[in-house]
Amino acid sequence: MKALIQRVKEARVEVQGEIVASIGVGILVFLGFERGDGRDQAVRIIDRVMHYRVFSDAKDRMNLNVQSVSGGVIWVPQFTLAADTRQGNRADLNRALPREPSARLFEQLLVHAHSRYGEVMARAGRFGEQMRVHLVNDGPVTFLLATEGV
């Protein structure tokens, strides 16, 4: 599983002109599910995102996590993160978890994030929809987190 996280001043996700998720300061997370990913990887990636230190402290060091700054989190499914791009001019998406198991895993991830960290930490885009993602990246600060076989 891959999570591309971006520290943001603000972010929102729109589907067909409707805002389905929005936050002020926080983290925007793009998620790519790979074959073999399951609940264990989802729980691990949630915990890593929630505890990853990407916000600056009083000494301007990245020592604070999203909870420390009372920020929000938006989770956006993005199957293209699972692509193998090492060769050629077209992404190989065979590593991506198929649509139905991905949809179930995304829902499980959101339920877990909500129950463990609260509603402000479980805002989300919509699986399988064409989304418009708007963000103001803060820094910019972007990290790629990955889990492999927990």
| pLDDT at site 149 | 52
For tokens 């929630």, what's the residue? Answer: 50
In tens, the pLDDT along 91-132 reads: 999 999 999 999 999 999 999 999 999 988 889 999 999 999
Q: Is the Cβ–Cβ distance between 147 and 24 less than 8 Å?
A: no
- Predicted pLDDT at 115: 94
Nearest to 123 by CA among 45, 42, 13, 37: 13
Q: For residues 13-52, b (16+ Cβ closer than 10 Å) or e, as one string?
A: bbeeeeebbebebbbbbbbbbbeebeeebbbebbebbbeb
Helical (H) or strand (E) element with 143: strand 131-146
Instruction: Measure CA of the first residue to CA of the last residue in the chain; give whole Å.
Output: 10
Q: Which CATH class is domain 2-146?
A: alpha beta
Domain locations in the chain?
2-146
Exposed, middle or buried: residue 98 (CB in 10 Å: 0-12, 13-18, 19+)?
Answer: exposed
Say which of 78, 108, 143, 147 is annotated catalytic. 78
| Residue 33 bears catalytic tag | no
Cα 88 from Cα 12, distance rounded (Å) = 33
The ranges of the chain with pLDDT < 50 are 150
The whole-angstrom separation of Cα 150 and Cα 132 is 32
For residue 121, the model assigns a pLDDT of 86
Q: Which residues contact 98 (CB under 8 A, 6 or more apart)?
A: none
Query: Active-site residue among 30, 33, 79, 106?
Result: 79
Report the pLDDT value the prediction gives residue 120, as an integer from 0 to 100: 84
Q: Which of 16, 80, 85, 142 is catalytic?
A: 80
Looking at residue 122, its pLDDT comes to: 87
Reply yes or no on whether 142 is catalytic.
no
Active site residue 80: yes
pLDDT at 150: 42
**pLDDT recorded at residue 46:** 96
Q: How far is CA 21 from CA 55, 124, 134, in A?
A: 21, 6, 10
Q: Is 103 helix (H, G, I), strand (E, B) or coil?
A: helix
